[in-house]
Amino acid sequence: MNQRFRFDNQTVVVTAAGNELGQAYARFFASRGANVIVSDSYKEASEIPGAADQVVQDIQRTGGRAVVNHDVVTDGEKIVQSAIDAFGRIDVLINNASLPRDIEFEHIHDVDWDQANATLLKGAFKCTRAAWPYFRKQKYGRVIFSTSTAGLYGSPGQSHSAAMGSALVGFGQTLAGEGAKYNILSNIIDPLIAAPTTGGHLSWNTQSAEIAQSVIPLVAVLAHSTTSENGSVFDVGGGYMAKLRWERSSGLLLQAGDTLTPGALLNKWDKIADFTQAEYPTGPVDMIKKLEDASKLKSNDPGEAIRFDGKVAVVTGGGAGLGRAYCLGLARLGAFVVVNDVREPDTVVNEIRAIGSKAVPNRTSVEDGAAIIETALSAFGRVDIVINNAGILRDKAFANMTEQQWDHVLNVHLQGTYKVTHAAWPHMLKQKYGRIINTTSTSGIYGNFGQTNYASAKAGILGLSRALAREGRKYNVHVNTIAPNAGTQMSRSIFTEEVAQALKTDYVVPLVLLLCSDKTPSPSTGLLFEVGSGWQGRTRWQRAGGQKWSKTHGLDPEQVAERWSKITDFQGQGLESPEDIETGLKPILADAERKNKL
């Protein structure tokens, strides 16, 4: 057969090449003419000791060119340098690390979280950042990120890998925008494979040769010089391939004023989740236009009163902006509030006390979440509501992004959300009640130039939230995620002062208060909302009908390219909007069931 997809004179770097998928990548690209760096530190749980060395020997024995590298992925500059030393260039980077170990959130330790971060996210950052100057100089590069089904849809027992997998989506989508003018294209794949575990849910195992037969032909197309895909996400496995895109409901627009209340939203809740006239965006809603339209509407029926009497709420970043608005909104409706802010929580605490409600300050960094939750327990004896709102910006084009800038933003946003939530989690499970609101952003959903650190962190928060929603549901612990659009001190670096003044924080608060209550209609957990300017809508993945091959043995990229229009077809039959792990894995489960009957 004519091999259209060749990689002659190109250098491909494969990380975590000690697992079976990594080995298969290395063998395939070498067979198609590439020079290959087979990187395997022996330290990844999914890697097979000595496997990379054996792969290199096999490639060389058949006349191919390959070099082994044993640096850890967090030493990405050394991995990339090995490509430069051996072959003088790098053309394709496949970030292939995986984390197979499942741990329920209540049993997770910081070392588990840190390992997931280092292996999946920080390693991808370090390797990609090291390769970036070479890609830019040669005006050519292809980057593949491997997320997971847990990262896209959430899965119990996989909160750490879900967070990092989702973060890679935000990372890849943002890089796609930054690299396009240099012909550096970035795409994200979700290698689907499922097997029952003792926990009664589903887990993934990249040691399967079968998954490699499905994944490699797709990756070869995405890594080739002829591809035009950029910033795209694909589900792939079991002979199934399909592209994903974002789907946003038409949403609910109400007058943005004093009658914009939680009860007003509750009256028309169905419209928030109405996807009958959905749009398929690549960026945020035009909130200025929404505000103009909202100003023409009549006053809202305030609806049912929502109260939080006896409930204890913790709000991070509560000293100003959205955090202040949340604190005051909760306090007015009866909640006791812990106002966390590293700068100045006392002003908001005094405002709350002035209206006859109870509040206490906390100045601890969100990276010490246990101390924040201890403040709630010491002052009020319990914690019912957590709103993870604290954040910072350190925007920089990826070519100029330092490791410190990356770490600082990830530590506050993603690590901080994990630390505060993890400290509150056992108390919520014990009392069989909890409401957690986590804050992503449209940068995390769609990507945004100059914000690889921020977009990655915010996308990671979404993945964490979806996993926790699955774990917490049976304990009446609900976890939802919002992407707010409001004029705050942080957003003033993006918006003009006039726009920031128009996008009032008060227009975000009613949805958050409703989600913190007991009144949210089912489904009431694991959801993503965009909100601001009197408008609130739901956002979710939509998956193309895709292409299914009954046999994967011998499947090659040439065949995949022939069916590309099917893989990326959002007009035909078979469209799905997966919002849980079961729907996400349905093509693979159906294939497994079919094979079991043979």
Give the model confidence (pLDDT) of 490-528 as tens digits. Answer: 555 555 665 665 689 999 999 999 999 999 999 999 999
Closest CA to 541 of 261, 305, 335, 234: 234
Instruction: Quick: pLDDT tens for 565-583.
Output: 999 999 988 999 999 988 8
DSSP class per residue in 556-575: -HHHHHHTHHHHT-SSSS--
**pLDDT-based confidence at residue 203 (cuts at 50, 70, 90):** very low
CATH pick for 11-239 out of 3.90.1200.10, 3.40.50.720, 3.40.920.10, 3.30.499.10: 3.40.50.720
Instruction: Give mean pLDDT, residues 249-270.
Output: 97
CA-nearest of 508, 509, 516, 511 to 477 is 516
Distance, CA of 33 to CA of 36 (rounded, Å): 9
**How far is 113 from 162, CA to CA, in rounded Å?**
11
312-333 pLDDT per residue, tens:
999 999 999 999 999 999 999 9
Instruction: List the single range of 32-46, 74-88, 168-182 with lowest mean pLDDT.
Output: 32-46
Give the pLDDT band (50/70/90) at residue 198.
very low
Residue 325's pLDDT is what? 97
- Answer whether residue 442 shows pLDDT above 90: yes
Domain with CATH 3.40.50.720 in the chain: 11-239, 304-542
Catalytic residues: 454
* Confidence at residue 591, expressed as pLDDT on a 0 to 100 scale: 64
**Domain 304-542, CATH homologous superfamily name and number:** NAD(P)-binding Rossmann-like Domain (3.40.50.720)
Measured CA distances, 532 to 244, 252, 286, 548 (Å): 26, 11, 10, 40
- pLDDT given for residue 48 in this prediction: 62
What is the model's pLDDT at position 1?
A: 54
Q: What is the pLDDT of residues 529-557, one digit of tens each?
A: 999 999 999 999 999 999 999 888 889 99
CA distances from 594 to 209, 215, 550, 598 (A): 18, 20, 10, 7
How much of the chain exceeds pLDDT 90, in percent? Answer: 82
pLDDT of residue 157 exceeding 60, the answer is yes
β-sheet bridge partners, residue 67: 37
CA 356 to chain centre: 40
d(C-alpha 509, C-alpha 531), whole Å = 9
- Where does the pLDDT of residue 207 fall: very low under 50, low under 70, confident under 90, or very high at 90 and above? very low
Q: Which pair of structure tokens corresponds to residue 338? A: 């812990």
Mean pLDDT confidence for 245-265:
97
Q: How confident is the model over 184-190, as a mean pLDDT?
A: 98
At 200 the pLDDT is: 39
The chain-wide mean pLDDT, for the chain, equals 92
